[in-house]
Homo-oligomer: A and B are copies of this chain.
């Protein structure tokens, strides 16, 4: 019997429907809405956001949650697996906000859109001090909220880290990033010394955008995106979003003088989309109906984009198709040159443009700075110098200015502290999955024969279908017998780059 649980249903259904509206408005704003619409539409979105908040955060839901808790402990309430998952997820979300005074949360919420604008302007003007006051306020709120929510002496930064990835505390990440610094920083130095040996100037030739669009759509479907249950559009920054498992939407962007950008953005978002399209029907309209965490999500996008998408086996059956489209532009670039080109590593300032080898170093800079902030070890005004010093230490380059340095990412202006590590965790999980999948499937054969169904079905069976019903470590243990283990990633990067650069 799950009578009490049934009392939650109207609240769950309503919050799901309003959230779907917010998702659709957000999609529409990024892809289609006219330029002058935002001011009026923002008022609509504000009302919907408040309604969403109030649908969950109210005395009725609180009472029912307590009654379910009592019912479970005295065995009058029996929840099935999915109901239990929904109950726990709702309880987690409820408690996350319950301990924060409503007035402070409201002040913080209205600070964020303003801080976004201040940050965008500061980045444009390359002036960190324009943003530092806003950043200070956001940091103060984030610290306070984390302290309100901290249980049993939990470190405030761990509270935030675990919002994004359960179990991935500073202990886990210090170990992970320590290994990266020890192994990858020196590897990058060796790679950088040999970088003149790989030519990828061809990538900046003129590639007709309409042909790129055709190829992007084709490759997305080739890899496994189901266009009967999804949409591919364009936006300034590629992203994936979904209403449910039958309506998953991805975007990409096209540049005439950059062939790789659209191709690998598309494969990356397709990876995210295959995850969302694979969530089981019983979950898709519930709060468990999305990928379990940003880290696990990123592991899927990176698996498709990098681990298989930049492999030679992936391109063996399809490189000629690309070359047919760009006959003239790629005529002197054979498959081997192309594979070297798309795997070339090069330290740069901008995280979102980073290659596979340098990506995690960008994350470490942010992680270490966030830790300093939450350990009260750095003043906000000192951060640009700290940022630049760390870039010099790990990547061997010093940002020319703050716009390509500490001001490059939107996350902090959104109050998203603890988010960045999930990108690195995702990359590492992708390598861990590769190691495991190679034992389960003839992966190289699948790629050479274009049999993505077998790969996708395997990932669906072990990862995608569960949505948020399992967390990352549960998925990894059930699938591979092992928790998160970054060693696979270190080995993967070393092996791959030593081969490409013939070190």
Contacts and interface: CB of A to CB of B under 8 A. Distances in A.
Interface in A45-81: 45, 47-48, 51
B28 A24 contact: yes
Contact of A33 (B14, B47, B231): B231
A229 interface: yes
B247 A16 contact: no
Interface string A237-262: 00000011111000000000000000
Interface in A17-53: 17-18, 20-21, 24-25, 28, 32-37, 39-41, 43-45, 47-48, 51
A17 B47 contact: yes
A474 B437 CA distance: 73
Nearest to A40: B244
A230 B21 CA distance: 20
A233 to B, nearest CB: 8
> Chain A binding site: helix, strand, loop or mixed by DSSP?
helix
Given A40-B247, A43-B285, A247-B41, A228 B20 contact: no
A232 B43 CA distance: 23
B17 A51 contact: yes
A77 B102 CA distance: 34
A227 interface: yes
Given A21-B25, A48-B21, A37 B285 contact: no
Interface in A323-358: none
A82 B362 CA distance: 55
Given A21-B48, A47-B17, A51-B14, A246 B37 contact: yes
A248 to B, nearest CB: 8
B20 A229 contact: no
Given A44-B20, A47-B17, A34 B284 contact: no
A495 interface: no
A32 B231 contact: yes
A282 interface: no
Interface of A: 13-14, 16-18, 20-21, 24-25, 28, 32-37, 39-41, 43-45, 47-48, 51, 227-231, 233, 243-247, 284-285
